[in-house]
Amino acid sequence: MSATIPVSDSLSNVRYEIRGQLAQRAHEMERQGYEIISLNIGNPGLFGFRTPETIRMAMIENLPTSEAYCHQKGIFPAREAVVMQQQDRGVMDVTADDVFIGNGVSELIDLTLRALLNPGDEVLIPSPDYPLWTAAVTLNGGKAVHYPCTPDNGFQPDLDRLAALISPATRALVIINPNNPTGAVYSRATLQAMVALAEQHGLVLFADEIYDGMTYDSTEFVPLATLAKNTLCGTFSGLSKVYRACGFRVGWVCFSGSHGKADEYLHALDLLASLRLCSNVPGQWGVQTALGGFQSLRELIEPGGRLYDSRQAVIDCVARSPYLTLVAPGGSMYAFVGVDPAAVPGFDDHDFALQLLEDEHVLVAPGSSFNVDYRNYFRITLLPEAGVLEEVFTRIDRTLEKYIKNNNK
């Protein structure tokens, strides 16, 4: 009998439960004929959102020139469009050479960390976090150190605790703004303080801004690159969320700020980009049109827009529930919903998520999937229409009632 194939030890602390066992169980149920409302992933195309036609046409018209490999950093028109966006924001110290196009932001997170980290190097990551950041640090030999962004502080970073976590091994500070999973949008003062810490300690700043501009009401989004002058700042964004083009797999990272000590690092990143030859070429032709064209997102996030109305439906449903709490998301396409431990004693996010899936055919992501040490939250996406979300919360409350009865037996 052949021996079991061993798994790499590097995976021992890697989690991505957003597509984990609960999602696998949901797929099984769908194959059995059940209709599942999947709220675990922000995937606009599955909820009827379309990529703007101008972006699709830009790809189609340039297909004849997309059959060869392009430059490892990406096609020039796409990189130049990112530069123009940064310059419109007041970030003037960037050129097309500072931009890397990737197969989504996910690939670039891996490449930028791989070029930076040696075994044992530390990276500061928010908690809750988008778990790919923690996984990528771990897979590249680093240590993820989580700085708390707690619900009692509106999921804003605790700056004093952040400062206390910086050590001689710290190499980088990750800022996810607008935040996934909480929807928190950081104030200018908070971002200025975080930049000051990074500059004081010589840390690389990684600004995950894939939801840039996706904010509600009067919430202000402040691009981190406009504040970071005296350290290297990598700004990540892409077509997947704001432009509803997840399947195109087009993301970018643009480096600004102080380049004085970054030459070797950027050369290393260029080497890694060369090793994978280039990213998806057809999708890159959509970047210039996306960034320079009509910003249709505004119609979705303003009052009367679909995302705005869905967000409001979640806020209203939570307010009516005797069991739930919510820090209203200021941005992104998610809500991080809390369950009141006093109202639901013994609550466990994974047990609840499984029961909700089995009994009510709704799939959510348990809060502990996002590297927090509490288990009374879950994340949902705001992408369904408001009426669907109202039905979802009816099912959630019904499941919580069952949960309380079962735990009181």
How many degrees, rounded to 5, is the angle at CA 152 between CA 150 and CA 153? 70
Look at domain 9-50+299-407 and name its CATH class: alpha beta
Coil, strand or helix: which one is 379?
strand
- Average pLDDT in the chain: 94
Q: Which residues 6+ apart lie within 8 Å of 93 measured at CB?
A: 256, 257, 259
- Rounded CA-CA distance 102/81 in Å is 15
E strand intervals along 149-220: 170-176, 204-208
- Rounded CA-CA distance 131/370 in Å is 6
Instruction: Quote the percentage of the chain above a pLDDT of 90.
Output: 89
Q: In the structure, what pLDDT confidence band is assigned to residue 254 with cuts at 50, 70 and 90?
A: very high
- Rounded CA-CA distance 180/183 in Å is 6
- Rounded CA-CA distance 290/81 in Å is 9
Q: What is the CA radius of gyration of the chain?
A: 21
What pLDDT, on the 0 to 100 scale, is given for residue 203? Answer: 97
pLDDT in tens, 77-88: 999 999 999 999
Query: Does the pLDDT of residue 407 top 80, yes or no?
Result: no
Q: Strand 365-366 and strand 377-381: pairing? A: antiparallel
How many degrees, rounded to 5, is the angle at CA 378 between CA 373 and CA 383? 140
Residue 307 CB neighbours (<10 A) = 21
Identify residue 282 by its one-letter amino acid code: P
pLDDT in tens, 291-329: 998 889 999 999 999 999 999 999 999 999 999 999 999
What pLDDT, on the 0 to 100 scale, is given for residue 405? Answer: 83
pLDDT in tens, 255-295: 999 988 899 999 999 999 999 999 999 999 999 999 998 88
Identify residue 362 by its one-letter amino acid code: V
Name the most confidently modeled range: 11-20, 40-49, 229-238, 259-268: 229-238
What are the residue boundaries of the structural domains of the chain, listed by start? 9-50+299-407, 53-292
What pLDDT, on the 0 to 100 scale, is given for residue 294? Answer: 87
Name which of 23-37, 318-332, 395-409 the model is least confident about: 395-409
What pLDDT, on the 0 to 100 scale, is given for residue 20? Answer: 78
Q: In the structure, what pLDDT confidence band is assigned to residue 89 with cuts at 50, 70 and 90?
A: very high
Considering the domain 53-292 in this protein, what is its CATH number? 3.40.640.10
Q: Strand 99-102 and strand 122-127: pairing? A: unpaired
Q: Under a CB-based contact definition with an 8 Å cutoff, are residues 208 and 224 in contact?
A: no
Q: Which residues 6+ apart lie within 8 Å of 389 measured at CB?
A: 310, 313, 314, 317, 380, 382
- Rounded CA-CA distance 135/14 in Å is 5
What pLDDT, on the 0 to 100 scale, is given for residue 16? Answer: 67
Phi, psi of 62 (to 5 degrees): -105, 10
Residue 152 CB neighbours (<10 A) = 6
What pLDDT, on the 0 to 100 scale, is given for residue 409? Answer: 60
- Rounded CA-CA distance 324/10 in Å is 37
